[in-house]
């Protein structure tokens, strides 16, 4: 089953069984350490994939709403990787760059086709919407060689950015 989404394609809740109440409990400070690591652990357990979540020790978002949007962006990106890429490895990284935070979800699979049918890509549209709602931006990039990246640049809490 490693790297395969067979049996889970139609029901993401079976892959990521976090309830809405659990997601709502995400605080800006706990998002990075506990929830993203839980997400990586769940992918490892369900698919036998190698998923890692990495973040710096001090990292903060301005509010709980931003933390929740960022979590859902990460979850959707990881779900798409598991479902579409064929990659046995996924990395979730959080980094700081000046006044911004950067969330990167990277796989080492087949990448995205040059042209997506208009009926495809609802997850990508939802990630863009969530990014806009938190004053962030998201881009989707095929890597040279093999793989795909979802990169979300988002504002940090003022005391963390300084």
Out of 23-32, 101-110, 122-131, 142-151, pick the least confident: 23-32
pTM above the 0.75 mark? yes
More confident residue, 95 or 5: 95
Structural tokens at position 162: 């300084």
DSSP characters over 44-95:
HHHH--EEEEE--SS---SSHHHHHHHHHHHHHHHHHIIIII--SEEEEEEE
Whole-number average pLDDT of the chain: 79
Please tell me the number of Cα atoms within 13 Å of 12 on its side-chain side. Answer: 14
- In what side-by-side order are the strands of the sheet with 100-107? 50-54, 89-97, 100-107, 148-155, 137-142
Phi, psi dihedrals of residue 138, rounded to the nearest 5°: -135, 140
- 29 in helix, strand or coil? coil
Q: What is the pLDDT of residues 96-138, one digit of tens each?
A: 887 789 999 999 988 877 776 656 678 889 999 999 999 999 9
């Amino acid at each position: 089953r490693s790297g395969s989404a067979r049996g889970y394609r139609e029901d993401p809740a079976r892959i990521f069984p976090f309830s809405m109440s659990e997601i709502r409990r995400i605080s800006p400070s706990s998002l990075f350490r506990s929830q993203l690591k839980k997400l990586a652990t769940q992918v490892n357990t369900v698919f036998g994939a190698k998923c890692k979540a990495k973040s710096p020790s001090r990292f903060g978002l301005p509010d709980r709403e931003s933390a929740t949007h960022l979590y859902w962006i990460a979850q959707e990106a990881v779900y798409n990787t598991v479902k579409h890429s064929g990659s046995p490895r996924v990395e979730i990284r959080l980094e700081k760059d000046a006044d911004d935070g950067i969330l990167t979800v990277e796989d080492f699979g087949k990448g995205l086709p040059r042209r997506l049918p208009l009926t495809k890509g609802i997850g990508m549209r939802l990630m863009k919407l969530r990014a806009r709602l938190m004053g962030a931006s998201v881009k989707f990039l095929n890597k040279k060689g093999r793989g795909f990246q979802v990169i979300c640049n988002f504002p940090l809490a003022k005391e963390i950015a300084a």
